[in-house]
Structure 1
Amino acid sequence: MIHDQTLDQATESSKAKKAVLYRMVMDKHTCPWGLKSKYLLERLGYEVEDHWLTTREQVDAFKARHGVTTTPQTFIGGKRIGGHSDLRTHFGLRLQDPKATSYRPVLAVFATGAGLALAASWAAFDTPFTLRAAEWFVSMTMMLLAMLKLQDVEQFSTMFLGYDLLAKRFVPYAYAYPVLEWTAGALMTAHALPWLSIPIGLAIGGIGGLSVFYAVYIQKRELKCACVGGSGAVPLGFVSLTENLFMVAMALWMLARMI
């Protein structure tokens, strides 16, 4: 994301300037980084001389002529700046680090869970603000988190085995966990088979909560959380602990309603 203040400063310094851009635009492939480079330059007030490389031969010839290995390539004032990342660096704009920890994935899951719950409540009861909406928020969020884990169970299980106390002793549990979480969430959403969903929620939530607490707050380990699947970069800690406590709380709530 471009910071407005930095962008404004860059815009002021780039007025009345021109840039030359070479990018791949083929029948079956348009380079996304070329589009981003063109958009960035235009946002910064540059007049872009846009050159399309429409065949593999043109691309190879361009790379050989300029001694580069990738496209797009931007030239400003006759000087080669480089690709999209080089362009952002040239203007002093932030580059996204793919390995940096981020809470964005889990925030997106919780926001989507809340949206689904409120929308379902509105459709069913003519108001989004109901007790059932709160229940649905927890159970639907459980299903969304399980879905992310199920996209790559192998990678999830590898991360999960790094800290879960039960999985370390019984490896198949690492593969079963997302299925159990999804099942419990679905049953809790439907208020069906509480004799099954409640024990599942209490078991996996309780074990998970203890595992996270032990790894983070007792052992003081710095790990990535497997809560949004194996590809996530969410730090293990409060978020994962919250996920597990939500499951336990939901199971206890449903148990209390049965009594």
Structure 2
Amino acid sequence: MKSRDLLERHGFEIEDHLLESREQTDAFMEKHGVETTPQTFIKGDRIGGYEALRIHLGVDKPEEERSDTTYQPVIAIFAVAFLMALGLSWYSFNAIFTLRAFEWFISISMCFLAVQKLQDIESFSIMFLNYDLLAQRWVPYGKVYPFGEAFAGILMTAGALTWLSAPVAITIGLIGAVSVIKAVYIDKRELRCACVGGTSSVPLGFMSLTENVMMLSMGVWMLAKMY
């Protein structure tokens, strides 16, 4: 269906040959030496499956030309967190842009980022060891960090127990920021960021530093508000 839709959007007339049984499918794959269906043919030439069709039509670049890093996961998290914060502000204060909305944006972002890490905490902790200074000295910290981030984010969203949540955010944010600065800007290492989990393709750098600076700043701000 995705191949048909893509072809139709590019102005092709489609002649569809449905494989109606397992036997027909196996015979087709054996005849053409392929392992998946559907296969697209244009003017008699076999293009391949859906991904190959996207490359042929210029929608995607060939695999060898693609970057192996992406900021898409982090952008998606920050964008949704920002919109949620504006929505909460609108509901609570009948105004979209408020100081509390900015606070919610950071705390909700922390929660989302923590969830990404907690999906596979073992993979996260392994990738985290590549650059975090505290985790390199105390390995269990790699598994403590996501819980600390979620804990601080939830309490800051609720505006509760600031005396506890703020120091946690300051501590992990400060350690994280120093670790990223050392790894990226001093040691000039090219690493993947564990900020969105252990299978992340996000490069360690500005976005990683932003996450930690946000936590650090939020912790300092919330603590200052108490006094």
Bin the TM-score by the shorter chain.
over 0.9
Higher relative contact order (CA 8 A, sep 6+): 2
- In the TM superposition, residue 69 of structure 1 has moved relative to its aligned partner by 2.3
> RMSD of the TM alignment (CA)?
1.5
Tell me the distance in 1 between the aligned counterparts of 2:176 and 2:152. 15
Letter in 2 for 1:65: K
Tell me the distance in 2 between the aligned counterparts of 1:127 and 1:211. 38
**What does the per-residue CA deviation read over 1:114-156, in whole Å, with 9 as the maximum and x for residues that have no partner?**
1111100110111111111111111111001101111111111
The aligned residue for residue 108 of structure 2 is: 140
Give the 3 Å change call, closer, same or farther, for CA 129–220 of structure 1 in structure 2: same
The aligned residue for residue 192 of structure 2 is: 224
The aligned residue for residue 2 of structure 2 is: 36
The aligned residue for residue 218 of structure 2 is: 250
Q: Which runs of 5+ in 1 are unaligned?
A: 1-34
The aligned residue for residue 59 of structure 1 is: 25
Does residue 70 of the first structure (1) align with residue 43 of the second (2)? no
- In the TM superposition, residue 66 of structure 1 has moved relative to its aligned partner by 2.4
- TM-score, length-scaled by structure 2: 0.94
Query: Where is the strand percentage greater, Structure 1 or Structure 2?
Result: 1
The aligned residue for residue 240 of structure 1 is: 208
The aligned residue for residue 80 of structure 1 is: 46
The 3-state SS of whatever aligns with 1:171 is coil
The aligned residue for residue 8 of structure 1 is: none
Is contact 1:142–1:185 with CA below 8 Å preserved after alignment? yes
Give the 3 Å change call, closer, same or farther, for CA 109–92 of structure 1 in structure 2: closer
Which structure would you say has the larger Rg? 1
Tell me the distance in 2 between the aligned counterparts of 1:241 and 1:154. 22
The 3-state SS of whatever aligns with 2:14 is strand
Give the 3 Å change call, closer, same or farther, for CA 130–90 of structure 1 in structure 2: closer
Tell me the distance in 1 between the aligned counterparts of 2:216 and 2:46. 58
The 3-state SS of whatever aligns with 2:69 is coil
Is contact 1:72–1:83 with CA below 8 Å preserved after alignment? yes
Tell me the distance in 2 between the aligned counterparts of 1:256 and 1:158. 35
- TM-score, length-scaled by structure 1: 0.83
The aligned residue for residue 12 of structure 2 is: 46
Is contact 2:169–2:216 with CA below 8 Å preserved after alignment? yes
Letter in 2 for 1:71: T
The 3-state SS of whatever aligns with 1:242 is helix
Letter in 2 for 1:145: L
Tell me the distance in 1 between the aligned counterparts of 2:6 and 2:87. 37
Does residue 91 of the first structure (1) align with residue 64 of the second (2)? no
Is contact 1:85–1:95 with CA below 8 Å preserved after alignment? no
- In the TM superposition, residue 174 of structure 1 has moved relative to its aligned partner by 0.2
- In the TM superposition, residue 96 of structure 1 has moved relative to its aligned partner by 7.2
Q: Which runs of 5+ in 2 are unaligned?
A: none
The aligned residue for residue 161 of structure 2 is: 193
Tell me the distance in 1 between the aligned counterparts of 2:44 and 2:216. 63
Give the 3 Å change call, closer, same or farther, for CA 135–93 of structure 1 in structure 2: closer
